[in-house]
């Protein structure tokens, strides 16, 4: 795992800053799924469902504007969707009301405090599966979150993670651009989503290597059953290479702990 230390702010202050960032972008978050990167993440995540997911109880941890939640509900799942951003929860309420009007309320939304206290409602349920897409890298204590999510799974349940791939050469290029924004922005005028003051990289705390994730999850009695690399120029399928794809989506399955 790679740690990204952008400044010396206390962890709780950084967490507040991250929530504020997602509050600010929440209004247009669903529109981002017009972008290939977001569409591919959704598609790949859904492909990691069991063959017949109807009736499964799932947790969408860090649900954003509810796009994944809606897709899971439309496939017959019962979904608890949580997020620390008030803006994202409001966006999810509106999106789900539009996309799942006849779902018989097979979903429940909960804004979590960010302190993740044991009495929060979503923690009182055992799930068949947990999705945590594009979240782990923003959490100060990512190990604690991993352990908590695995503990919420029923025996034989699955966990799907989408995280930045620290082994990607394109991630290294992105990091260089981020650390030298003035030079790149002034002379090339490119990559403003990386060099701009509102770049998500200001809030990203970790990047991951697959072998490290495997070791950490194995300690929680979870074994990897699938791994996909994505996000890169699609020429010749290079994004599927572990040294190129900027993001990896990994599925783990818990052993029977009874």
Inter-residue contact 208 to 234 (CB < 8 Å): no
Share above pLDDT 70 across residues of the chain, in percent, rounded to a whole number: 75
All domains in the chain, ordered by first residue: 2-166+205-254 (3.40.50.150)
Given a cut of 60, is residue 154 above it in pLDDT? yes
179/6: higher pLDDT: 179
Cα distance between residue 234 and residue 113, in whole Å: 39
Given a cut of 60, is residue 11 above it in pLDDT? no
Share above pLDDT 90 across residues of the chain, in percent, rounded to a whole number: 54
* pLDDT tens digits for range 205-238: 888 999 999 999 999 999 999 999 986 555 556 6
Given a cut of 80, is residue 84 above it in pLDDT? yes
Residue burial 53-64, b: 16+ Cβ < 10 Å; e: rest = eeebbbbbbbbb
103/99: higher pLDDT: 99
Given a cut of 50, is residue 14 above it in pLDDT? no
pTM of the model: 0.83
Confidence band (pLDDT; 50, 70, 90) for 202?
Answer: low
Mean pLDDT value across residues 174-198? 58
Residue burial 76-88, b: 16+ Cβ < 10 Å; e: rest = ebbbbbbbbbebb
Lowest mean pLDDT of 70-84, 156-170, 184-198, name the range.
Answer: 184-198
The predicted pLDDT at position 102 comes to 82
* pLDDT tens digits for range 25-61: 898 889 988 887 888 889 999 999 999 999 999 999 9
Cα distance between residue 131 and residue 251, in whole Å: 9
């Amino acid at each position: 795992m790679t740690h990204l230390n952008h400044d010396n702010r206390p962890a709780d202050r950084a967490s507040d800053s991250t929530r504020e960032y997602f509050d600010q972008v929440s209004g247009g978050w669903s529109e981002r799924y017009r972008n290939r990167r977001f569409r591919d993440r959704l598609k790949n995540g859904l492909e990691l469902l069991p063959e017949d997911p109807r009736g499964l109880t799932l947790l969408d941890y860090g649900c954003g504007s509810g796009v994944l939640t809606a897709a899971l509900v439309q496939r017959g799942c019962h979904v608890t969707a949580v997020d620390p951003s008030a803006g994202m929860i409001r966006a999810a309420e509106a999106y789900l009301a539009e996309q799942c009007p006849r779902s018989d309320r097979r979903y429940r939304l909960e804004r979590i405090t960010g302190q993740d206290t044991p009495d929060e409602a979503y923690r009182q349920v055992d799930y068949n599966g947990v999705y945590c897409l594009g979240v782990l890298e923003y959490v100060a204590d990512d190990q604690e979150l991993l352990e908590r999510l695995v503990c919420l799974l029923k025996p034989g349940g699955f966990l799907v993670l989408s995280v930045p791939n620290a082994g990607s050469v394109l991630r290294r290029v992105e990091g260089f651009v981020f650390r030298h924004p003035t030079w790149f922005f002034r002379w090339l005028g490119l990559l403003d989503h990386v060099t701009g003051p509102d770049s998500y990289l200001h809030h990203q705390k970790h990047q991951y290597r697959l072998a490290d994730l495997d070791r950490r999850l194995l300690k929680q009695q979870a074994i990897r059953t699938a791994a996909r690399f994505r996000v890169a120029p699609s020429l010749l399928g290079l994004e599927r290479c572990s040294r190129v794809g900027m993001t990896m989506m990994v599925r783990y399955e818990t052993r029977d702990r009874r």
